[in-house]
Amino acid sequence: MDHFPIFLAVEGRRIVVSGGGEAALAKLRLLLKTTARITVFAAAPEAALRALAAEGRITLVTRALAPGDALCAALFYAANDDAAEDARVTRLARADGALTNWVDNLEASQFITPAIVDRDPVTVAIGTEGAAPVLARAIKADLEARLPASLGLLARIGKGFRRAAEALPMGRKRREFWFEYYFKTGPQALEKDGLDGIGPALDALLARHLSEAPRKGRVDLVGAGPGDPELLTLRARKLLDEADVVIHDRLVSPAILELARREAVMIDAGKKGFGPAMAQDDICALMVEHAAAGAHVVRLKGGDPGVFGRLDEEVEALEAADLDWAVTPGITAASAATAQIGQSLTKRDRNSAARLLTGHDMQGFAEQDWRGLARPGQVAAIYMGLKGARFIQGRLMMHGARADTPVTAVENASRSDARTIATTLGRLAADLEAAALTGPAVLLYGLAPRAAAHALPRLTEELA
Ligand code: SAH
């Protein structure tokens, strides 16, 4: 982010514009929405500018900008549509200490003006740092259509009611009250009884919320999928948006955590491979503690919570504490990894079953039904298998698996930094060591990437 978005307090402050033509007028259309005092310098202003001055909406000075003219200005716009003049006035305004914008000249500007969706006091500012004005316009059009015109009105009235609403305890109770006002009670009252209906509706709504018993906390155990935010379920998205507390694994990508409600308490229960982690008991205690205090907790787990996610221990802890809970499934790493290489987990005439295995368990490297797996045509997605790759390779070969059985390691499946290592059982440990994977990876035993599927057993081209 080269430009940091803020909302600048401009009430009663000076904003100075240099320019008397269309560029200046275009900026003025936006600036006139503010409560700033606007002064325009233009040697030959268009009639529209004179009209604004006559209405008292701007101060018009009919000469070119001179040194000192932008003193005490919060913002300055060079809008002369004339590069030499814009360069000159920008220099002067900077010397006067104003923040300067040279219209349509990103590099020479100290700030830029976003596309604006105006539902004052609700204002949406959209910026693309000059990269994609078309995109900004499309987003603006989308929001214009989506945000009801009455939103600003409801917000203004709501603002006057904030003091009264403080009778509700801070946090979720108060949030629920406002949510119902903005998205249900407010619009309904406005439609039915007009402006006069809103006050009584707010009073009634507050009375109801005040008399309601505090809601019990709850825990949603939510699958965050393999990392790409687009692979979240709609429900996961919604729950993240509502959560008071989010307890997440380290596997959950930052892009997904960004989607959580801004006020939510974010707790990293980081569990990654063999590294330091919060003990499972502590995670359970944390969930129970927050939910018992009335919070809506989202326990966010990588992939699907029911696949190597220690879901049952957490559910048991919640049941023991008599708390409400529910599971939201997610896309598991095996699905994301097979999608990544264009293969399917099961395939008619190849394998009518596929297994999800873990490379290690509480005791160390996990023992499996090696004999069964060693048979031709078997497919397995091996989670947490990197450290134990040599062990897995040894066990399978010992039980008669062919050295040219394809194995594909998919690291960071679904993420922009995904990597695919296509190899064979015989070369698995060596190739993985050479690849030095650092992200989470699934080993797809019995599967080669689709493009290379016919080139068996020469599957190591990617490493060569
Ligand atoms: N519940 C998770 C699995 C947790 S166990 C799920 O359903 O996916 C952690 C293991 O999952 C990692 O060691 C790795 O083997 C695998 N994994 C998780 N995310 C992954 C990703 N984006 N790409 C590849 N493997 C991943």
Nearest ligand 1 atom to alpha carbon 227 = 22
334-463 adopts what CATH topology?
A: 3.30.950
Cis peptide before 229 (omega within 30 of 0): no
Structure tokens at 258: 């960004």
pLDDT at 173: 82
d(CA 201, CA 374): 70
CATH for 151-211 is: 1.10.8
CATH for 14-113 is: 3.40.50.720
Nearest ligand 1 atom to alpha carbon 330 = 7
DSSP assignment of 256-309 equals: HHTTS-TTSEEEE----TTS----HHHHHHHHHHHHHTT-EEEEEESB-TTSSS
Nearest ligand 1 atom to alpha carbon 382 = 15
Of 354, 338, 303, whose CA–CA distance to 409 is shortest?
338
d(CA 36, CA 13): 5
* Contact between 443 and 381 (Cβ < 8 Å): yes
Of 95, 44, 45, whose CA–CA distance to 66 is shortest?
95
pLDDT at 140: 93
Beta strands 296-301 and 360-361 are: unpaired
Ligand 1 pocket at CB < 6 A: 226-227, 251, 301-304, 307-309, 332-333, 336-337, 383-384, 410-414, 440-442
Of 177, 151, 154, 152, whose CA–CA distance to 164 is shortest?
177
* Most informative mutation of 357, 382, 442 for ligand 1 (most atoms within 8 A of CB): 442
Distance 167 CA to ligand 1 centre (A): 46
56-72: pLDDT as tens digits: 999 999 999 999 999 99
Q: Please state which CATH class domain 218-331 belongs to.
A: alpha beta
Distance 394 CA to ligand 1 centre (A): 23
* Most informative mutation of 231, 365, 383 for ligand 1 (most atoms within 8 A of CB): 383
Amino acid found at 189? A
Nearest ligand 1 atom to alpha carbon 334 = 8
* Contact between 302 and 224 (Cβ < 8 Å): yes
Amino acid found at 333? A
Residues identified as active-site:
249, 271
d(CA 70, CA 90): 10
The domain segmentation of the chain, as residue ranges, is: 14-113, 151-211, 218-331, 334-463
Stretches where the chain sits below pLDDT 70 are 271-277, 452-464
Residues contacting 172, CB < 8 A, separation 6+: 215, 244, 294, 295, 296
* Model confidence, pTM: 0.66
d(CA 238, CA 173): 18
350-409: pLDDT as tens digits: 899 999 999 988 778 889 999 999 999 999 999 999 999 999 999 999 999 999 999 999
Of 407, 278, 256, 266, whose CA–CA distance to 330 is shortest?
256
d(CA 230, CA 253): 12
Distance 226 CA to ligand 1 centre (A): 7
pLDDT at 460: 40
Q: In what order do the strands lie in the sheet with 99-102?
A: 59-61, 37-41, 14-18, 73-78, 99-102
